[in-house]
Structure 1
């Protein structure tokens, strides 16, 4: 099949899985990790090959197709989509490593790679590699991952510290049972830890190469897949927020017919002008967020197709526009929540899960609307962005 046919096949299979993903939401919440059924359904759909190079049997689809699939997953379950964002985007990051590493990671053509990018570990150089020790919090998807990409600091003899990223088999790490949260519980974002773990040199990449052009001498990925790392991760992540908002609107509208307004004379909430106004505004905020997303995804793809990296201004705009898209869908779901009534608070109904999960994920450091807008605003007024996360 061609690229377009592959993308359609994955999207159609995921779309067929949405009702089941939604039904499994309560179980994901209560066990604090998505059910194996969700992983199996998406594995069969081809989701875990989205960013795997074709030379290893992967699909290696363009960013827009990846975003479409991740959005559709979130329409069923936000936690499942967030785990998939981690697995797919970090698998793409593995293409920045030397060929030897890629052969280890991508051997099956379908792989789940988690990551923790705050350097809360230490890497000590030894013969042939490094000794890795540390603990990494918020490690989304670690319970279902094959590999983990972990940030650590190397202290050089002159006292300077350098950030590196180590790829480690998940089986070599300890996963702690410390994910007890009020939102996005199903993401299973537990802590992982290592103690004096040997990591061979070819599986350790410096921050300079990770945030730049990748390891020297590696086989490049297919034309049009050399995205700017932070922009790529941000674009993929926004898909989860938009998908959750679409799911929330969908289940809200499903419950609306025949529903009255308690303690009023309104027997059909659909007839109330405030409901009509807020539903329309919510739908349009979601559509506006999708348009913003489509705009910067197209920009990133155009740059990648030309073999170019986005400018600082463009990368800052991705941060700001992504933040705006997240703010818009957050407001949309908050508006719907004010109309949903007390019955929507039931843990057996999916609306409250979309609401809680979306609000929880807006606190993510990289994806916080305020942080993205600050970076964009600094560049717009002529200041240095003062962050490497572009």
Structure 2
């Protein structure tokens, strides 16, 4: 049954890819996803993908979630990125106590935005906390039902710690401050909370989120879904990126045949040896990235199925290998864009949007190749990774 469910979701997304591509310029112009994109993905079951089965969700495995995100991103990188945030945040919501999960997943199909930068404060009050702060780059906030906010929890004795809260999106104000040259359609605006009350059961420690050991969860994590937080996030980010690159390659291959090369005798660019080398190079970089992704998601799933978790070394490899896969995809899209000719800069040519999204999203702090390769390299050379984000 589960295999048929994921096949049905992916088939529905595949049917929607032409519409996602056709809506790309509209999405960029309005700096948010068209309602048609959200409706098509809702109908496909995308927003039930990470909902636990006990709440009526699909509870897809990590490799299956990555495949779903790949397919969405083939149509539109920004749409894929938003869905990645909503999906991974739903996964994070399963780390909260049962009482919070009962509220969040009451509707089965759920869209959750949020981030991990603790740019707010939580102060204790009767029955819970007061949340204040502003969170930038809050992808998907304009269409989310719930929002996750990392904050500094301030104790009465002056001590403090990092914590994560989850609360309805309508308790935040959303600024109209997302105006970017890349990932423009993600609507990653700043969100603000002012003295918002958060019940105690909707706040967990940052450490509990990382270690997956939150108290108050009498319903156990679904067997085979106990992923470590940052390994999980890196994997779904890479899945989104591979799909974006695959979409760019498809667009390039559709565009090239019959196009002449100006100031040369070539009447069909596809017959030029350099173009042939470029498309083969891009194809192989994407294939290598896909192989790295599949290898890492399979490893993480094996540990989850066995009820264990990866070693520190394996988690460091997830950081390095998935970021390297993302960089391979960025390089592939760069090649395709550079080979696209001068007319590729026109806004009505979808390839230029894939190029800008690929470039912009690669700047995300968690995905930087240099940072992640350093973590992996430290472990390879016998040193401590020196980061809790594994």
TM-score (norm 2): 0.98
1:31 partnered with 2:16 = no
Q: Equivalents in 2 of 1:239, 1:213: separation in Å?
A: 22
Q: Distance in 2 between matches of 1:238 and 1:72?
A: 12
Between the two proteins, the alignment pairs up a number of residues equal to 389
Distance across 2 between alignment mates of 1:254 and 1:275? 13
| Native 8 Å contact 2:282 2:333 kept in 1 | yes
Q: Superposition pairs for residues 301-320 of structure 1, below 5 Å?
A: 301-320=301-320
Q: In 1, distance between residues paired with 2:115 and 2:222?
A: 26
How far the C-alpha of 1:128 sits from its partner, in A, is 0.6
1:152 aligns with 2:151: yes
* 1:201 and 2:187 aligned: no
Alpha-carbon displacement from aligned partner over 1:56-99 (angstroms, at most 9, x marks no partner): 11000111111101000000000101000000100011111111
- After superposition, the C-alpha distances for 1:158-182 in whole angstroms (9 at most, x for unaligned) are 4332000000100110000011110
Q: In structure 2, how many angstroms separate the alpha carbons of the residues matched to 1:319 and 1:383? A: 15
Provide structure 1 residue ranges, at least 5 long, that are not aligned to the other structure: none
CA separation in 1, counterparts of 2:216 and 2:339?
57
- Quote the residue 1:162 is aligned against: 161
- 2:112 is equivalent to residue 117 of structure 1: no
Matched residue, 1:13? 12
Q: Which residue number corresponds to residue 65 of structure 2?
A: 66
Q: Which residue of 2 aligns with 1:189?
A: 188
Question: Partners of 2:276 and 2:232 in 1: how far apart?
Answer: 36
Question: Which residue pairs with 1:326 in the alignment?
Answer: 326
CA distance in 1, matches of 2:50, 2:268: 47
- Are the equivalent residues in 2 in contact too, given 1:323–1:371 (CA < 8 A)? no
* Residues in 2 aligned to 1:233 and 1:250: alpha-carbon distance in whole angstroms: 26
The alignment partner of 2:153 has SS state of: strand
What secondary structure is seen at the aligned counterpart in 2 of 1:164? strand
1:167-246 correspondence runs (5 A): 167-218=166-217, 219-246=219-246
Separation of aligned partners in 1, 2:221 and 2:201: 18
Give the distance between the partners of 2:160 and 2:324, measured in 1 at CA.
Answer: 35
Q: 1:239 Cα shift?
A: 1.3
Q: SS at 1:347's partner residue?
A: coil
Q: Distance in 2 between matches of 1:343 and 1:253?
A: 15
Please say if residues 10 and 69 of structure 1, whose CA atoms lie closer than 8 Å, have aligned partners that are also in contact: yes
Instruction: Quote how far apart the aligned CAs of 1:310 are.
Output: 1.0
Match of 2:384 in 1: 384
In structure 1, how many angstroms separate the alpha carbons of the residues matched to 2:289 and 2:338? 21
Q: Deviations over 1:324-356 (max 9, x none)?
A: 101111111111111100111110111000000
1:76 counterpart residue number = 75
Contact 1:33 1:187 in 2 (8 A): yes
Structure 1 residue 214, shift from structure 2 partner: 3.4
CA contact (8 A) 1:242 1:289 kept: yes
CA contact (8 A) 2:123 2:155 kept: no
- The answer to whether the Cα contact below 8 Å between 1:97 and 1:214 also exists between their aligned partners in 2 is no
State the distance in 2 between where 1:363 and 1:76 align.
21
| Contact 1:245–1:330, Cα closer than 8 Å, also in 2 | yes
Q: Distance in 1 between matches of 2:43 and 2:370?
A: 37
By how many angstroms is 1:323 displaced?
1.1
The runs of at least 4 consecutive aligned structure 1 residues that moved more than 6 Å come to: none
What is the root-mean-square deviation in Å for CA atoms of aligned residues?
A: 0.9
Alpha-carbon distance in structure 2 between the residues aligned to 1:362 and 1:74:
15
Say whether the 8 Å CA contact 2:212–2:229 is kept in structure 1.
no
C-alpha distance in structure 2 between counterparts of 1:69 and 1:151, whole Å = 27
Note if contact 2:234-2:323 (Cα within 8 Å) is conserved in structure 1. Answer: no
**Structure 1 residue matching 2:357: 3-state secondary structure:** helix
Rounded to whole Å, the distance in 1 between the matches of 2:276 and 2:241 is 23
CA distance in 2 between counterparts of 1:91 and 1:10 reads: 17
SS state at 1:138 partner: coil
Q: What is the aligned partner in structure 1 of residue 269 from structure 2? A: 269
